[in-house]
Structure 1
Amino acid sequence: MSTSRARAAFLALPVTLVLAACAGGGDGADKGSGDGPITVTATDTACELSRTEAPAGTVEFAVTNKGSKINEFYVYAEGDRIMGEVENIGPGLSRTFHVELSEPGTYQTACKPGMVGDGIRADFTVTGSAGAAKSDDENLAAATATYQQYVAEEADEFLARTTEFVALVKAGKVAAAKALYPTARSSWERIEPVAESFGDLDPRIDGREDVVEEGMEFTGYHRLEKDLWRTALQKDSGEIADRLLADVTELVAKAKTVQLNPLQLANGSKALLDEIATGKITGEEERYSHTDLWDFDANFEGSKAALQALRPFLLAKDPELVETIDARGTALEQLLDSHHSGEGFVLYTSLGDADVKKLTEALDAFAEPVATVAGVVAKG
């Protein structure tokens, strides 16, 4: 799921950071380093941080939404590279997350009331000496290596399936293109936080029609979804398909060069569940094809893959947490499996209110312990 925003809890490349000052943020923020989590008070019109400076390393943010709209909080590096995020914060709710900021320099923070637009932004300074992200534990080092390989393999699969999909669209083979569409997108959905992290590539590949309201052209998978299911193929459908393949080729080359740290795996596993909660479980993502449950399943698989990479570390540090995650993950998987049809799933429109409610409750139950994984990883 995407509008023009890029969402990436997994990815943060070490770069030298120099950002231009940008208006926004709360008044009277304290620049002192302080101790403990940096508190963030988000409303519909403001984004106030208790501190706007921290030493290089792991930084903890505690975000409270005191507004009337669902909110999100992001930490950006140069070029709007997302270093960390927390999504789907309902009115009156609080969320805590950790982010590895190992390079000194100027970053930006942003609250996004209503989960749209560029957000309410302000500069955030990281001080001290540059250093590699913390991963001394051999299990954590192995986890990052394992997951980077997973990302590379899924990226290759995404390119292969997109190449096939584009060929079908250009040949006017509508039925075959429709059949391939949900599975062609699955690898994107499995590694979505990484895949969506490269600036405008995200909305160009996966932007929904809403991007037009933000001044962008409607292209990519969802434009072709509309052509296939709603309007019939258009004169420019072949051109849109060629641009999609070019964009995916560029994305895959970049995704395979990422250097991850353990916190990004932990945050990413939760971010994928947030993707389900904010787009797939609502039926908003695949609004023309109604193939949202394929996306739901792929996001869920990606979350489990990140957790599986971290499993040896988590078993050593908190075996009870692993037991809880396993039990609730099994429950969600069994519920999702009940909506299988053939080699895929039923259409979202066939779900009743009771079905959606059960899926939402099972998703929330699984997401609750997953949200604590980053805290365990941050303690090392």
Structure 2
Amino acid sequence: MPARRLTAASLLSLAALCTVATGCAQKSDSGSSNDAIKVEAGDSSCQVSRTEFPAGPVDLAIRNSGSRVTEVYVYAPGDRIITERENIGPGTKATITAQIKAGSYEVACKPGMKGDGIRQKITVTGKGAPAKNDPRLDSAVASYRTYAQEQADATIPVVQQFADAVKAGDMAKAKSLFAPSRVGWERTEPVAESFGDIDPKTDTREDGLEPGQKWTGWHKLEKSLWADGKVTDDDKKLADELVADLTDWQKRIGKADITATSMANGAKELLDEVATGKVTGEEDRYSHTDLSDFQANVDGAEQAYTLLKPVASEKDAQLTATLDREFAALQTLLAKYRKGDGYVSYDKVTQAERKSFSDAVNALAEPLSKLAAAVTR
């Protein structure tokens, strides 16, 4: 589930966390280039310093001048996500490095991390200098697309089994398949989110619904299975819809706009997912299978990083050494909570243990936010 759909409680928790941890964009973030596009994100405004600039590598230097946690997106037509940065605390800064092609786009600032956001139209021209083509990055992108496709292909049969169990009223089997059915999605969620329309139908929590939006997808079925203790006829229809929506996702992978910078930014987004949903226990609040999603998010982020590492290590060996160390530390921590084929129920994880998870995620998220710049500069 995208971190942008948060409860009021988690937003307050996140704002507090931003003052003491490194998981959110920090005031000291000054990694942008001198010609960066400045984005001033306020509570009721979104000011962009330039609305026309050349195609190619682009730095967006964001400052949250508002009083609420915010996020900034670059949308292509149809609200297809080109790049994003979430969890930007009040008074803090963040830099997004992205490879943007010529075309018309919108920059959206979302105070409170909800809704369509305050938008500014921008035009990216074809006048920029041609980007240097590093064949290693081309190979990384091709390999990552293959990985994303493999994850989607492996997801569909498990989701079908989950849906069949729901429709048969087999509560125990449906519960056992809920977490496994989500693994491939959670590993590659930034690719799925980039399409704009699939995620809201499959992975929205009840508190994240927009006005008039029907609740569908995994979490509606999760509530029926664990909280309500029964499967309705409507749930059975929703199970078939989930299979159809995820099959749509599977078919679109080959057309997804994937670049080296979107891979790097996507890895950071997966850590944001962990910080704002899994560590808090809000994502899978009925089933308490959060650690399965947590592991999948970390695995997906590490896969993207591993593919980009040959280029990143050449340009910033210190950064990759840090990332190697922090990924290993987080994976070691997660391994302690393995139980059979799954993980300890998250409601059994103490607040002190959750703080350890949060610290480990924050220690990884900060250097991971620098990966995009390392592979494109």
In the superposition, the TM-score normalised over structure 1's length comes to 0.88
For 1:343 and 1:38, locate their aligned partners in 2 and report how far apart those are by CA, in whole Å.
Answer: 47
Confirm or deny: 8 A CA contact 2:47 2:120 kept in the other structure: no
Trace 1:320-359 onto structure 2 (pairs within 5 A): 320-359=318-357
Trace 1:139-288 onto structure 2 (pairs within 5 A): 139-231=136-228, 232-288=230-286
Confirm or deny: 8 A CA contact 2:3 2:277 kept in the other structure: no
Confirm or deny: 8 A CA contact 1:155 1:256 kept in the other structure: no
CA displacement, residues 200-257 of structure 1 (integer Å, 9 cap, x when unaligned): 2211111111244432100111111111111111121111111111111111101233
Superposition deviation, residue 198 in structure 1: 2.1
Point out where structure 1 has 5 or more consecutive residues left out of the alignment.
Answer: 6-33
For 1:284 and 1:230, locate their aligned partners in 2 and report how far apart those are by CA, in whole Å.
Answer: 14
For 1:318 and 1:121, locate their aligned partners in 2 and report how far apart those are by CA, in whole Å.
Answer: 35
Secondary structure in 2 matching 1:110: strand
For 1:348 and 1:257, locate their aligned partners in 2 and report how far apart those are by CA, in whole Å.
Answer: 36
Aligned residues: 349
Quickly say closer, same or farther: Cα 1:2–1:325, change in 2 above 3 A.
Answer: closer
For 2:128 and 2:36, locate their aligned partners in 1 and report how far apart those are by CA, in whole Å.
Answer: 21
The aligned amino acid for 1:269 is A
CA displacement, residues 278-312 of structure 1 (integer Å, 9 cap, x when unaligned): 21111111121111111111000000000011121
Q: Which residue of 1 aligns with 2:88?
A: 89
CA displacement, residues 74-99 of structure 1 (integer Å, 9 cap, x when unaligned): 00001001101011111222110111
Superposition deviation, residue 129 in structure 1: 4.8
CA displacement, residues 34-68 of structure 1 (integer Å, 9 cap, x when unaligned): 96111112122211222222111111111111222
Trace 1:62-73 onto structure 2 (pairs within 5 A): 62-73=61-72
Quickly say closer, same or farther: Cα 1:275–1:191, change in 2 above 3 A.
Answer: same
Give me the identity figure in percent: 46
Q: Which residue of 2 aligns with 1:36?
A: 35
For 2:208 and 2:313, locate their aligned partners in 1 and report how far apart those are by CA, in whole Å.
Answer: 42
Confirm or deny: 8 A CA contact 1:227 1:233 kept in the other structure: yes
Q: Which residue of 2 aligns with 1:108?
A: 106
Name the stretch that deviates more: 344-353 or 134-143. Answer: 134-143
Confirm or deny: 8 A CA contact 1:72 1:112 kept in the other structure: yes
For 2:38 and 2:4, locate their aligned partners in 1 and report how far apart those are by CA, in whole Å.
Answer: 27
The aligned amino acid for 2:369 is A
Q: Which residue of 1 aligns with 2:15?
A: none
Secondary structure in 2 matching 1:185: helix
For 1:213 and 1:151, locate their aligned partners in 2 and report how far apart those are by CA, in whole Å.
Answer: 28
For 1:131 and 1:277, locate their aligned partners in 2 and report how far apart those are by CA, in whole Å.
Answer: 38
Q: Which residue of 1 aligns with 2:20?
A: none
For 2:100 and 2:231, locate their aligned partners in 1 and report how far apart those are by CA, in whole Å.
Answer: 46
The aligned amino acid for 1:243 is E
For 1:314 and 1:200, locate their aligned partners in 2 and report how far apart those are by CA, in whole Å.
Answer: 32
For 1:259 and 1:213, locate their aligned partners in 2 and report how far apart those are by CA, in whole Å.
Answer: 26
For 2:220 and 2:254, locate their aligned partners in 1 and report how far apart those are by CA, in whole Å.
Answer: 26
For 1:147 and 1:182, locate their aligned partners in 2 and report how far apart those are by CA, in whole Å.
Answer: 23
The aligned amino acid for 1:253 is K
Superposition deviation, residue 258 in structure 1: 2.2
For 1:223 and 1:312, locate their aligned partners in 2 and report how far apart those are by CA, in whole Å.
Answer: 42
Q: Which residue of 2 aligns with 1:28?
A: none
Confirm or deny: 8 A CA contact 1:2 1:208 kept in the other structure: no
Name the stretch that deviates more: 293-302 or 204-213. Answer: 204-213
The aligned amino acid for 2:72 is F
Quickly say closer, same or farther: Cα 1:338–1:3, change in 2 above 3 A.
Answer: closer
In the superposition, the TM-score normalised over structure 2's length comes to 0.88
For 2:354 and 2:65, locate their aligned partners in 1 and report how far apart those are by CA, in whole Å.
Answer: 27
Any runs of at least 4 consecutive aligned residues in structure 1 with deviations exceeding 3 A, and if so which?
Answer: 2-5, 129-132
The aligned amino acid for 2:89 is G
Confirm or deny: 8 A CA contact 2:186 2:300 kept in the other structure: yes
Secondary structure in 1 matching 2:293: helix
For 2:48 and 2:307, locate their aligned partners in 1 and report how far apart those are by CA, in whole Å.
Answer: 33
For 2:363 and 2:301, locate their aligned partners in 1 and report how far apart those are by CA, in whole Å.
Answer: 14
Q: Does 1:56 align with 2:55?
A: yes
Secondary structure in 1 matching 2:120: strand
Quickly say closer, same or farther: Cα 1:363–1:355, change in 2 above 3 A.
Answer: same
For 1:287 and 1:131, locate their aligned partners in 2 and report how far apart those are by CA, in whole Å.
Answer: 49
The aligned amino acid for 1:278 is T
Q: Which residue of 1 aligns with 2:287?
A: 289
Match of 1:305 among 300, 303, 306: 303
Confirm or deny: 8 A CA contact 1:102 1:131 kept in the other structure: no
